[in-house]
Amino acid sequence: MIVSLLHDFLILDRDVDGEYELLRFIHDPRALHLHDDFVRYMSDTLGWIPSVNPALQSSQFGLCMHGPTIIELEGAATSGRVFTLWADLLSIGPPVIELTGAFTWIDNPELDGKYERLNVDRDKTVQVLRQLATWSGQVLLGNRRLYLFHLGI
């Protein structure tokens, strides 16, 4: 079995797509993707976004890393700003951006560990972040009909 380390994002319409019938959107071809390592890199700022955990039907902040999250009107302005600012920051970097990842021990835990190096394709990542910002703006204007759906790994 191949495990996907991608977070999926979709903009959904309650009138067309429903509200919490979210399992049918797993592997949806319309989804935008961000790698788990990069989402974790952004996680401090993603934690500022008001959101809903549909599995528990409760309000929270941030994304569910291993399940669904919904960003509604209350979180759309913040998510739009967060995604826009990340896109702006990354857009000034080199074509392949090297970031510091998690601290890890690769093969032998008795040896000193090291930080993983994340290589991010600037243009693809900026494009996804800008589209997520655009979708967040559409949620703001959608009169509670639209929402941003995130599915963690």
Q: Please write the tens of the pLDDT for every residue from 51-90.
A: 999 988 899 999 999 999 999 999 999 999 999 999 999 9
pLDDT for 112 beyond 80: no
How high does pLDDT run on average in the chain?
91
pLDDT for 1 beyond 50: no
DSSP string, 95-149: SEEEEEEEEE--S-TTS--EEEEEEEEHHHHHHHHHHHHHHHHHHHHTTTSEEEE
What is the sign, positive or negative, of the torsion defined by CA atoms of 83, 89, 93, 99? negative
Q: What is the tens place of the pLDDT at every residue in 12-64? A: 999 998 877 777 888 889 999 999 999 999 999 999 999 999 988 899 999 99
pLDDT for 105 beyond 90: no
pLDDT for 116 beyond 90: no
Q: How confident is the model at residue 4 (pLDDT cuts 50, 70, 90)?
A: low
